[in-house]
Amino acid sequence: MTCMLIIGASDAGISAALRIKQLDAQAQVTLAAADAYPNFSICGLPFYLSGEVADWRTLAHRTIQEIESHGIHLLLDHRAEKIDAQAKIVQMTAPNGEVKAVPYDRLLIGTGAESARPPIQGLDTPGVFFLRWMADSFTVRQYIEHNKTRRAVVIGGGYIGLEMADALTRRHMEVTLLEFAPEVLTTLDLELGQVIRKELLAKGVRVVTGQAAQSIGRDQGELAVTTATGETHAADLVIVASGAKPATALAQTAGIGLGASRAIAVDRTMATGVADIWAAGDCVHTWHRLLQTHLYMPLGTTAHKQGRVAGENMLGGQRQFEGSLGTQVVKVFDRVAARTGLRDKEATAAGFDPLTVSLTTWDHKVYYPGATEILIRITGERRTVRLLGAQMVGHHAAEISKRVDIVATALFHQMSMEAMADLDLAYTPPLSSPWDPVQMAAMRWCAALNGR
Ligand SMILES: Cc1cc2nc3c(=O)[nH]c(=O)nc-3n(C[C@H](O)[C@H](O)[C@H](O)COP(=O)(O)OP(=O)(O)OC[C@H]3O[C@@H](n4cnc5c(N)ncnc54)[C@H](O)[C@@H]3O)c2cc1C
């Protein structure tokens, strides 16, 4: 019987394992993970730390028993150290320190990402934390409860930093968000980041932008984060959320090559180029559907799909990963910001001749109570009138996520602005307008193109 070994039991690894079992119930599947939390939603960690999710156990998509009931054999707390691709053996360290040689016929690497360590002195000072694994969240939570922390500095104004600023504020802490760039949420255009900044300020977060954290020190029990300009921010707790980098050390022991952003190089079947080894998720580079090239875009949505593709191909399938558009969304207090596809400057850099148009409109009919404004920036190609991307920000209840997904679907199918405006979308006054805001944005774009 073919022996399928999967290293990594998070989104990519689990998706592959389940797909293999779905297609071939007799397949022998072993799933190894460096920790004891297979198939947990690490995307939910900020909500566990905020207290919105009371019990960490509910972050499990499936329990261990449920995973095993699919006939998947789990090796938890087993760290894979080395792959011998000739002998088809993975060397692992078990929790008791025993070194095991685990054989495979086909192997998937789904080792994910690691928190990036920015060049800041004092990152190992007690009270300074990264957030990536379940264990990280337990340590942070214990630290908060044990030390009765009152003040926090969050380094990094990306989506995890923003979620953590929100989470710690909900825990009644005074939060300072420190961001090197001129505005928070640099994955969106400045004017959308400004809306998120306003929301942070309104909820009591101190927002410090354009300042790089340089060092963290401890003085008489108090942490101090010092910036390159010499400003000091006192804290009881520091969260460093400055990005993720692919975990590739294991893959490199098998001689597997690296690609974009030094992530594991895979083709669209998720094959690594080394016989019988596939890779998927945050450890690999990702095919961008619009740019037709590989980029590093670590997202849970992508990891699931890539894992499923890899699982199918490990059984001899020929499935290709259809590509990502970088579609993402974040909730910060009462605001939601989202994007899909390309922004103007990204489109220009990729050789398109883009036009980007902004529109502020109501999420639903104003006569129905509770209408709120949505800011949409939509980008298309002038010559072909092709849709290239959209960014939007609005109230939590304004269905921003649904709306960015409409654009993502249109983009996936290479629709023009006009075609998106023609879509038959749902309408009732409490939820939308006869022309949905994304269609209004598309029509505004067409009018701007024609100089109207
Ligand atoms: C706080 C936070 C919030 C997030 N929010 C979102 C969100 O809202 N939306 C979204 O799309 N994405 C989000 N993400 C990203 C998303 O969680 C990741 O894209 C996703 O978890 C990647 O899945 P993965 O399977 O590739 O790897 P990971 O989730 O990184 O898991 C890697 C697995 O490999 C194992 N492993 C690693 N090295 C070894 C080894 N040597 N031996 C054995 N096992 C090993 C680990 O134990 C783990 O099981 C968030 C991430 C974080 C940290």
Q: What is the 3-state secondary structure (H, E, C) of 409-425?
A: HHHHCCCEHHHHHCCCC
The pLDDT value given to residue 221: 84
The atom number, within ligand 1, closest to the CA of 282 reads 26
Ligand 1 atom 38, closest CA: 111
Superfamily of domain 128-242: FAD/NAD(P)-binding domain (3.50.50.60)
Q: Which helix (H) or strand (E) holds 138?
A: helix 134-147
Concerning whether 283 is annotated as a catalytic residue, the answer is: no
The pLDDT value given to residue 219: 84
Ligand 1 site-directed mutation target among 252, 299, 336, 339, most atoms within 8 Å of CB: 299
The pLDDT value given to residue 1: 82
What count of other Cβ atoms lies within 10 Å of the Cβ of residue 285?
Answer: 22
The pLDDT value given to residue 70: 97
Domain spans in the chain, listed from the N-terminal domain onward:
3-113+245-314, 128-242, 334-449
Whether 128-242 shares its CATH topology with 334-449 is answered no
Give residue ranges with CB within 6 A of ligand 1. 7-13, 32-35, 42-43, 45-46, 79-80, 110-113, 131-132, 160, 247, 250, 281-282, 298-301, 303
Q: Which helix (H) or strand (E) holds 379?
A: strand 373-381
- Residues contacting 186, CB < 8 A, separation 6+: 157, 158, 179, 193
The pLDDT value given to residue 397: 97
The atom number, within ligand 1, closest to the CA of 250 reads 41
What count of other Cβ atoms lies within 10 Å of the Cβ of residue 294?
Answer: 20
The pLDDT value given to residue 100: 96
Please name the residue that has the structure tokens 């590989």.
294
The pLDDT value given to residue 313: 98
Strands 128-130 and 237-240: parallel
Ligand 1 atom 27, closest CA: 112
**What CATH code is assigned to 334-449?**
3.30.390.30
Ligand 1 site-directed mutation target among 6, 42, 115, most atoms within 8 Å of CB: 42
Q: Which of 66, 6, 13 is nearest to 303 (CA)?
A: 13
Ligand 1 atom 32, closest CA: 112
Which residue stretches of the chain have pLDDT < 70?
A: none
Q: Which CATH class is domain 3-113+245-314?
A: alpha beta
Q: What is the pLDDT of residues 323-376, one digit of tens each?
A: 999 999 999 999 999 999 999 999 999 999 999 999 999 999 999 999 999 999
* pTM beyond 0.85, yes or no: yes
Q: What is the pLDDT of residues 227-273, one digit of tens each?
A: 999 999 999 999 999 999 999 999 999 999 999 999 999 999 999 99
